[in-house]
Amino acid sequence: MLLENEEYVVDIVDIGQGGVGVGKYNGFTVFVEGGLIQDKIKVKINKSKKNYAVGDIVEIIEESPFRVARVCSEDLKDCGGCQIQELDYSKQLELKKNEVKQAVERIGKLENVNIKDTLGMSNPFRYRNKAQFPIQNIDGLPAVGFYKKKSHNIIATDKCVIQHEVNDKIVKIIKTYIRAYKISLYNEKTHKGIIRHLVTKVGFSTNEVMIILVINGRDLPYLGELCSVLQENIPGFKTLVLNVNKKDTNVVLGKENIVVYGDGKISDTIGELEFNISPLSFYQVNPVQTVVLYNKALEYADLDKDDIVYDIYCGIGTISLFLAKHAKKVYGIEIVEEAIRDAKINAENNNVYNTEFYTGKAEEVVPRLYKEGKTANVVVVDPPRKGCDQIVLDTIVKMNPEKVVYVSCNPSTLARDLAYLNEHGYECREIQPVDMFPHSTHVESVAKITRV
């Protein structure tokens, strides 16, 4: 054990969850916020346990060759949005490949899986089409920004280099609106106050802008005046929505939306397909890399005109419509009713008529459809971070498709599910990591799985 409040010289050998540097001192593990691979740093220990310690940087003795200058202001260093912005981008891509590889080998216990180099961006900034800004009262003024690492305290920001540029203007307008009309802000401790979050969605190809104010109620004053300002100052402003969230929860969006201006939707294109996007709809946040991701999924599916496909956790039908252009039939399953409504509209708007979409929990709908005789020889899954439900995996095995394409945002649950499929007659031959979230530690992957 290391002694608390003592200083030690530590070599950073890896980066862990949340971008925390993983250091070694005489073989003992020390976690250091802000440490980068190949940094040699002096660390003051603030917590010491039997198997590890946690410390803060006192001095960088030898700077990592992969350390680069921040693009953001130093004032935003503790912002939770970009955990590894100071790590050279090529090293970020290497790190993400290694994260997938370690998960597959350690958790999945799988060998001989070809983990390809991470596909990155030529310009890894200003790529996000969706932003969620918490709003808090700090010293009597509205602060809009992002949560500080490992806390619910806001670091206020007037601009974010990974968000679409239009957000810089929107944040200023919303702060002015709150101050001008003395709108109360939600307090997480007292559960009083009205405005909780500002959420924005932007169609990169259409420049259409949706603005959502998440409120602890059902109404706000002077919305007409706010809309007028937004119309005058925000190019592409298309709709303003109030999202009702009265629950004591960390979940940002509630289930009810009240459309104040416009029709409550924006549109965007991926490749040749156009999509309607609603406030509650899941839509990939990086449109440039989404094309890369979906084309890889399509390549791994290797469809022909007689193939029948299940698209499980289909969202608004983005992958479904990509697949339907090459298959005989696609069944899409998604729990969010609003997303399925959008999926049906998207299919119609794109003249795609060989799809059927079903609302409900995947673990309930997939077994039911299978019992009804709706089977597939290709299955595509794009689950949330928790991975596939066990019943879904069981049903896929019973269905016995030739190919499974697994799109994952969590290497750990991907590896767990690959291990299960491997035990039941399937083999993962290749995984392609895709950098959907530059400057964060998150990585998306596409796995190619075939029946043995």
Is 313 one of the annotated binding-site residues?
A: yes
Largest CA distance in the chain: 67
Give how far Cα 288 sits from Cα of 127, 206, 285, Å.
8, 14, 9
Q: With H, G, I as helix, E, B as strand and everything else as coil, classify residue 410.
A: coil
- Kindly state the tokens that stand for 278: 């609603």
Which contiguous run of DSSP H or E holds residue 295?
Answer: helix 287-301
Is 284 one of the annotated binding-site residues?
A: yes
Q: Are strands 403-408 and 378-381 parallel, antiparallel or unpaired?
A: parallel
Spatial separation of the C-alpha atoms in residues 388 and 399, rounded to whole Å? 16
Starting at the edge strand that comes first in sequence, how are the strands of the sheet with 195-202 ordered? Answer: 154-156, 141-147, 130-138, 195-202, 209-215, 237-244, 256-261
- In sequence order, the β-bridge partners of residue 209 are 202, 237
Sign of CA dihedral 208, 212, 218, 224: negative
Exposure class string for 355-371: b at 16+ Cβ within 10 A, else e: bebbbeebbebbbebbe
Q: What angle do CA 322, 324, 329 make, to 5 degrees?
A: 155
Is 370 one of the annotated binding-site residues?
A: no
Determine whether 72 is an active site residue. no
Is 334 one of the annotated binding-site residues?
A: yes
Gyration radius of the chain's alpha carbons: 23
Do residues 276 and 341 make contact, with C-beta atoms less than 8 angstroms apart? Answer: no
Q: Which of 72, 79, 409, 428 is catalytic?
A: 409
Residues at the annotated binding site for S-adenosyl-L-methionine? 284, 313, 334, 382
**Which residues form the catalytic set?**
409
Residues at the annotated binding site? 284, 313, 334, 382
